[in-house]
Structure 1
Amino acid sequence: MSKSKISELQYLENYRLLFTNLEEVQDLKTELAEYGYNDTKIAEGKTLLDHTQQLYQQNKQETAEEKEAYAQFADAFSLLKKTYGKHRKVAKVALMKKTELWKSLAIDGSLSAAYLKALEEIKTFYQQAQAHSDAKPLLEKFKIDKTAVDAQVAQIQQVESLRAAYEKEKGESQNATQQKNKAFTELSDWVREFYAVAQIALDDRPQLLESIGKFVRS
């Protein structure tokens, strides 16, 4: 039967309790000091804990900002595609007798699922809607005019700006995760070594060993 995964938050709480008990139980400090775990050595571990807690909170913040940035980008892109979808249908009707123009406006197939390719197809449509001499007058009859195109071009720029912001937040979130994981590893290594020594130092005083538990991150 597999062990249930302990959350990082629970590990932090376990470590906090460890250092709290180390500070409050004088007998523990006395016994461990004889094996090299004096105030200076314990402070080293506490510093690692404080650093890990800080990076954990930073990682949570960066993750939240990444999710928010993605939601803003996704909403803007969804709005762009919704309006484009209507224009696309209208364009096929407007150009029903000139289907050879569909390719020029990139409406001869389905809209690509991939973001970059889809955006390029949408850009092509609105660019050609105003630039193509044969298509422009036919589309304008169905209200795909300069005003409608300019509004969509502005929306495209908004999508691209929000996509850039999301990629920035994504990178910061990934970096924060790496830094947090590194800190957890360093802290858990310290705690693992500490317990190895503590089990020797407190071999004849198991009640003291119990008072600090065994909270080692796997």
Structure 2
Amino acid sequence: MTTRKNQSIDKRMFDAQLMINNSLSEPNILTALSQFGYDHNKLQEGKQLFEEVQALGDTQLVEYGSQRAATDDLKQTWTTARKAYIRTLKVARIAFDGNKEAETALLMRGRRKQTLGGWMEQATTFYTNLLNSANLTQQMRRYGYNTDKLAAEADLIWAVVKAHAAQQQSKGIARQATNRRNAKMTELEAWLSDFRAIVRIALEDCPTRLKQLGL
């Protein structure tokens, strides 16, 4: 049996809207509920909570849309930078073959890390140390890599770092939006729990009206 807690947010919101709006719009139902403290003003409290949850839900959708856009941007940026880095790394391994100092400084040994964090560490170290060494950049010139070309590729790497930071920020904002929506939904559910109990008491002799409220 499906409990309210296990129902989707959309289903719970639909049920809440039906119950609150029909209670407010149907005079006979409102009169019956008013005898138990749920008059127009009390029902407006529930409607206000509902609208707040709805607004927070809309905000959540926007923030998750921003997160997805940031993730797509990161993937595209990383793909472009990775292609340039791997190509230049292959050339550097030829240029500095046997140069242990360069191999260590540029982190050229071994496989490239598969995680984004590990990859960024290897790539940023490679370009930073390469560009900071006049001797190393001079040797790369022999293979068609001047300082401007290396700097342009380094910018691609830093674009990945920036895109990753933006994605993480978007992810955090989206998570906060979800938490705020969920907290307000919990508040609404608490209000609805008491309201449903009163509705069943106030309308226990009127099954048709209970059905109007989705009960």
Q: Structure 2 length normalisation: TM-score? A: 0.89
* C-alpha distance in 2 between matches for 1:188 and 1:9: 13
1:80-105: per-residue Cα shift (whole Å, max 9, x none)? 11110111112222223435532221
> Paired residue for 2:85?
84
Amino acid at match of 2:163: L
Q: Secondary structure at the match of 2:104?
A: coil
Go from structure 1 to structure 2 and tell me whether the alpha carbon gap of 1:99 and 1:182 turns closer, same or farther (over 3 Å shift).
same
> Paired residue for 1:164?
165
Question: Are 2:47 and 1:43 equivalent residues in the alignment?
Answer: no
Q: Secondary structure at the match of 1:74?
A: helix
Identity of aligned residues (%): 25
* C-alpha distance in 2 between matches for 1:143 and 1:127: 19
* C-alpha distance in 1 between matches for 2:72 and 2:128: 27
> Paired residue for 1:95?
96
Q: Would you say the 8 A contact 1:112–1:118 is kept in 2?
A: yes
Q: Would you say the 8 A contact 2:120–2:161 is kept in 1?
A: no
Aligned residues: 214
Amino acid at match of 1:182: A
* C-alpha distance in 1 between matches for 2:185 and 2:83: 45
Structure 1 alignment gaps of length 5 or more: none
Amino acid at match of 2:154: V
RMSD (CA atoms): 2.1
* C-alpha distance in 2 between matches for 1:121 and 1:37: 65
* C-alpha distance in 2 between matches for 1:26 and 1:2: 32
Q: CA deviation at 1:117?
A: 3.1
- After TM superposition, the structure 1 stretch with the greater mean CA deviation from structure 2, 167-176 or 34-43, is 167-176
Q: For residues 19-30 of structure 1, what are the structure 2 equivalents within 5 Å?
A: 19-30=20-31
* C-alpha distance in 1 between matches for 2:134 and 2:30: 86
Q: CA deviation at 1:3?
A: 6.9
Q: For residues 57-76 of structure 1, what are the structure 2 equivalents within 5 Å?
A: 57-76=58-77
Q: Secondary structure at the match of 1:138?
A: helix
Q: CA deviation at 1:133?
A: 5.3
Q: For residues 1-218 of structure 1, what are the structure 2 equivalents within 5 Å?
A: 6-98=7-99, 101-132=102-133, 135-214=136-215
Q: CA deviation at 1:188?
A: 1.2
Q: Would you say the 8 A contact 1:202–1:209 is kept in 2?
A: yes
Amino acid at match of 1:173: A
* C-alpha distance in 1 between matches for 2:205 and 2:124: 76
Q: Would you say the 8 A contact 2:199–2:210 is kept in 1?
A: yes
Structure 2 alignment gaps of length 5 or more: none
Q: CA deviation at 1:184?
A: 0.8
Amino acid at match of 1:147: D
Amino acid at match of 1:66: Q
* C-alpha distance in 2 between matches for 1:130 and 1:198: 74
Q: Secondary structure at the match of 2:145?
A: coil
* C-alpha distance in 2 between matches for 1:200 and 1:39: 18
* Structure number with higher helix proportion: 2
Go from structure 1 to structure 2 and tell me whether the alpha carbon gap of 1:2 and 1:209 turns closer, same or farther (over 3 Å shift).
closer
* C-alpha distance in 1 between matches for 2:212 and 2:2: 26
Q: CA deviation at 1:44?
A: 0.6
* C-alpha distance in 1 between matches for 2:180 and 2:131: 50
Q: CA deviation at 1:167?
A: 2.5
